[in-house]
Structure 1
């Protein structure tokens, strides 16, 4: 037997040993290649095992998965879409607006909704919770009253803090504005009723009057006149509006407040005079104001205004 034959046999033996080793690695899950390629590997000395090793390295670099080249772009786009956050809608089928839940004939749903409001932010539902206190369901009424008590307690604390801050710094415009805004929010949330609310509204008018002494602007005047009307002080509101018209004779918001006062007094003739003045002098009222003018004039005349 020649040396060439012996060398060939040794190479084949080494090749088979390498192939057996690679098959064993594939069997235990270490070699990440398709098993159908292993028989062909044994038929190609040297290049067969080397090709399998290269395919294994490629699979490892790609995360252990063999990805066809034509699908690579599709995989990337699919992964990007999977990364887009989507709201959890599993409970949307059971979600009902509070206004509808209060009248729907489903006590369990009403009560669950009220409990969820108590656990979240009852402050943003103050007006609806006030309505819920009149619901026929005793438990709903109890939950609504509890939520209103929570809101009232928080509002009371915030308002007390702003009032104390203003008492310590009466000359501060910032303290005045913070107290005024806190009181305005307090009144808008309808926390107080009866005499307590009237007392807070009078305090609010005092703050508005104080602000007018420091900074005379028509928005504050309109807020003061509105609050005076809500208190039933029509004469005081009339004086406030007349003073504002002297300062801002073409300010549409002031004219709208005058129109509101005359309507509240049930003075039809005064309403018509004010409407004619707004129309004839071409006072700019804006979109909402134009709708009010259209109501008093009628569609045809308002279109020519």
Structure 2
């Protein structure tokens, strides 16, 4: 009789424990899988204990290593399948742009020229300008035509920006007009007297921008623009102040070097070179090459 009572009590306790675990599972507090319910309910005492031990193991050591490994392998497999293998056979006919214009046969040059014209000619402006001097008459003709079209479109946009600025001389219109004019001059599309007039206009626009904002980058552009129109004294005044404000900026020192060369002042050139060395100014590869040129020139003297 006592045994039956004990058994009934134990079964009742087991049922209560299963009910508690099932409730926690429904609430999402216990990560118990569905197939574990049968073990938990049908194996008195040891079933719930086993479930609790598995939950504790997962909490301490993480998810099932086997499942995690399989999941990792599945993800890696999907990643590898998603990688597109580049068809190297398609590169057989690929040749460098400059080589195609200079070395390769006429068919390659003309095919390349037509592809540039049908894609984005603006992106190949430097190559198109070089192609204007190509020995192949047809290639030179295509290049000259494309450059003329780009120049026409740029002139039109420049006129529109200039008109917008004159109509409304706001900071936004000034910045757009000034930045595009700078890009236009750097592209080499403007030549001769037109280029000189536009460079003077660019310097005036930068002067107006410097009245509104006083950034180092903008003042460097302004000093360079003044040098481009041979206003050396004005450029020197701006550069001298930049040396005080930004002595670590490499473009400031390259401006000093450029102005010294424009003055044909060898002593000043050497002084600038010594100052760059003393200040340990970081120089880009292009600036290091230019500095080495003038350094060697001074040593040769």
Q: Fold match, TM over 0.5?
A: yes
Map Cα deviations across residues 196-248 of structure 1 (whole Å, 9 max, x no partner): 111111111111111111112222221122222223332332233234345x1
- Which of structures 1 and 2 has the bigger CA Rg? 1
Give the C-alpha shift of residue 157 in structure 1: 2.7
| Alignment partner of 1:267 is 2:242 | no
Aligned with residue 247 of structure 2, among 243, 247, 250: 250
Aligned ranges 1:129-148 → 2 under 5 Å: 129-148=128-147
Q: Tell me the residue number matched to 1:39.
A: none
CA distance in 1 between counterparts of 2:234 and 2:252 reads 15
Q: Tell me the residue number matched to 1:219.
A: 217
Give the C-alpha shift of residue 142 in structure 1: 0.7
Aligned ranges 1:185-196 → 2 under 5 Å: 185-196=183-194
Map Cα deviations across residues 127-152 of structure 1 (whole Å, 9 max, x no partner): 11111101111100111011112211
Aligned ranges 1:30-49 → 2 under 5 Å: none
1:173–1:82 Cα change, 3 Å: same
Contact in 1 for aligned 2:132/2:143 (Cα 8 Å) = yes
Give the CA RMSD over aligned residues.
Answer: 2.9
- Identify unmatched segments of 5+ residues in structure 1: 1-73, 299-305
Map Cα deviations across residues 87-122 of structure 1 (whole Å, 9 max, x no partner): 565542222222111111401110110000000011
Q: Tell me the residue number matched to 2:153.
A: 154
1:95–1:234 Cα change, 3 Å: same
Return the TM-score normalized by structure 2: 0.64
Q: Tell me the residue number matched to 1:13.
A: none
1:188–1:294 Cα change, 3 Å: closer
Aligned ranges 1:1-305 → 2 under 5 Å: 83-86=82-85, 91-170=90-169, 172-245=170-243, 248=245, 250-252=247-249, 253-280=251-278, 282=279, 285-288=281-284
Contact in 1 for aligned 2:216/2:246 (Cα 8 Å) = no
CA distance in 1 between counterparts of 2:79 and 2:240 reads 64
Aligned length: 221
CA distance in 2 between counterparts of 1:205 and 1:160 reads 17
CA distance in 2 between counterparts of 1:189 and 1:206 reads 19
Map Cα deviations across residues 258-304 of structure 1 (whole Å, 9 max, x no partner): 12211233311011223334444x3x522326676666668xxxxxx
CA distance in 2 between counterparts of 1:208 and 1:94 reads 47
